[in-house]
Structure 1
Amino acid sequence: MTIDCREAFPESEIPIPSDLPRPSPIATGEMIALFLDFDGTLVEIADHPESIHVADGLPAMLEALSTSLDGRMAIVSGRALSDLDRFLGPVAVAMAGSHGGEFREAGARDAIPLAKPLPAAVLENLQALAKAHGDLLVEAKPFSAAIHYRTNPSACEALLEATQAMAAANGLKLKHGKMVIELVMPGSDKGTAVRRFMDLPGFKNTRPVFAGDDVTDEDAFKAVAPYGGGGILVGPMRETAAVWRLESVAAVHAWLGAVTGDAA
């Protein structure tokens, strides 16, 4: 897939397919494995990663959802697991963080790394790049680093050119999301995390569903297909491998609440 700056701007004239249907409610006893992105799916995206608002009832709803599915539920986020723990508290649900670079089963205390740590020199170069373009925010994670350019959208082309060169020189993957560019270590993607979960005994022989809003979730949308599952695109329609769509974070909460009998 060609990476360019058009993905970041809703006004861009990008051809998109016709709309997708809404996912059906998850029936009691249905052998579904559910995977949920965090930012843009469970919480609204904010101008700064620290500025998000977590609904008061969200952690309890996630635990109830995991219980309803006999543990076959996981959050799969670009955020580090330490960040998810800070915002959600000690919820007993499975998680993968840093775009799948770190993996933790439900109830476990320690994370399993699925990638090697990001070289310190890459982070230093990214921080220098951010400073040169107006002191942009750099979000350092164990297996990746992201540069957020929401405060300077015009820098996108220059940032992409520089980060693509960094990725090529260091054998990294580059992910371009909503006003953010991220350099990640190989093995650190949401599709890898989904496949790792699907290898666990509790997830085997189930149909996986992944809900996410960003282009970084496309790896997971594609990963669930071979298991007979599908992706749920959250937010505006765009080109996607998802097969269903929910229009907003609020719609996701309502859809999940139908399983637990409550909503965040």
Structure 2
Amino acid sequence: MVLHEATLFLDLDGTLFELVDNPEDVRADHRTQALIGQLLQHMDGRVAVVSGRSLAQIDDMLGDAAGTLWISGSHGCEYRWDGVIQSPSRPAALDDVAASFRNFAQNQPGVLVEEKSLGVALHYRTAPEAGASALALAQEMAGLHDLYLQHGKSMVELRAGSENKGSAILTMMAHPGLAGTTPVFAGDDVTDEPGFEAVLELGGHAILVGEPRPTLATFRLRSPEELREWLWRATV
């Protein structure tokens, strides 16, 4: 796999960064920011983030490095590249969802609410016993407000739109700056499977980061740390 001839797509949580109990605690350290800079130089700028996080959250996580990347946030609903931003309006129903999720979390120690520009998530990583109740509430609210229910690792999210990381990758790969290159996508969660499918359809490579599980990915790295070290070696 030769990266300097490819376009690299990276998920963030659980892929470039380790999963943590509180999603708001994730920040790129100096070494990770340096890695992003090295990748951009090695690949002539063809480095993209494809994340369920919002554009604003990605900016907070990556700092100055975010401004130089191709970015799709909110599971393919938001985009930014070459200074152009595409972001739909936030559905008013998400305010009702956020209130319901906060009420739920108040009575479930360890459950966290994450509000995004186009979604609201319930995280129960430190309270796995709350998972079934969280899913039931999310299903109820999804039906009530006609929102998309997104499953993930120890979380459920209600969000606008039915786009996914696969549609995000296909949209970006159609851009003249990326078209004709070989896509490589690294991800860890079930939310990344549409992205794996997309890069394989385009003749690219899919990398699962983390423990073995049923997946479309054709390569696997054991952890975000192993991914970062592999990326460093690939830029030498």
Pair in the same fold by TM > 0.5: yes
Distance in 2 (CA, whole Å) between partners of 1:132 and 1:116 is 31
Partner amino acid, structure 2, of 1:221: F
TM-score relative to the length of structure 2: 0.90
Q: Which ranges in structure 2 are unaligned for 5 or more consecutive residues?
A: none
Q: For residue 56 of structure 2, give the secondary structure of its aligned residue in structure 1.
A: helix
Q: Distance in 2 between matches of 1:121 and 1:188?
A: 22
| Aligned match for 2:188, one of 213, 221, 234 | 213
Pairing of 1:1-264 with structure 2 (within 5 A) = 24=1, 26=2, 28=4, 30=5, 32-52=6-26, 54-91=28-65, 92-105=68-81, 107-108=82-83, 111-113=85-87, 115-118=88-91, 119=93, 120-134=95-109, 136-261=111-236
Distance in 2 between residues matched to 1:89 and 1:140, nearest whole Å: 20
AA partner of residue 16 (structure 2): L
SS at 2:7 equivalent: strand
What is the deviation of 1:257? Answer: 0.9
Contact 2:27 2:62 in 1 (8 A): no
Q: Which amino acid aligns with 1:96?
A: S
Distance 1:149 1:202 in 2: 40
Q: Which amino acid aligns with 1:36?
A: L
Could you say which structure has the greater relative contact order, defined with CA pairs below 8 angstroms and 6 or more residues apart?
1
Shift of 1:124: 2.1
Fraction of identical pairs, as percent? 40
Q: What is the CA-CA distance between 1:131 and the residue it aligns to?
A: 2.5
- What is the CA–CA distance in structure 2 between the aligned matches of 1:56 and 1:67, rounded to whole Å? 17
- Could you give the per-residue CA deviations for residues 221-248 of structure 1, whole angstroms, max 9, x where no partner exists? 1122221123110010001111111111
- d(CA) in 2 for partners of 1:93, 1:79: 15
Higher mean displacement: 131-140 or 75-84: 131-140
Higher helix share: 2
Aligned to 1:12: none
Note if contact 2:27-2:60 (Cα within 8 Å) is conserved in structure 1: no
Which amino acid in 2 is paired with 1:77? Answer: S
Contact kept, 8 Å, 1:116 with 1:185, in 2: the verdict is no
* Residue correspondences, number: 232
Q: Secondary structure at the match of 1:40?
A: coil
Aligned-pair RMSD on alpha carbons?
A: 1.9
Cα distance, 1:148 vs structure 2:
0.8
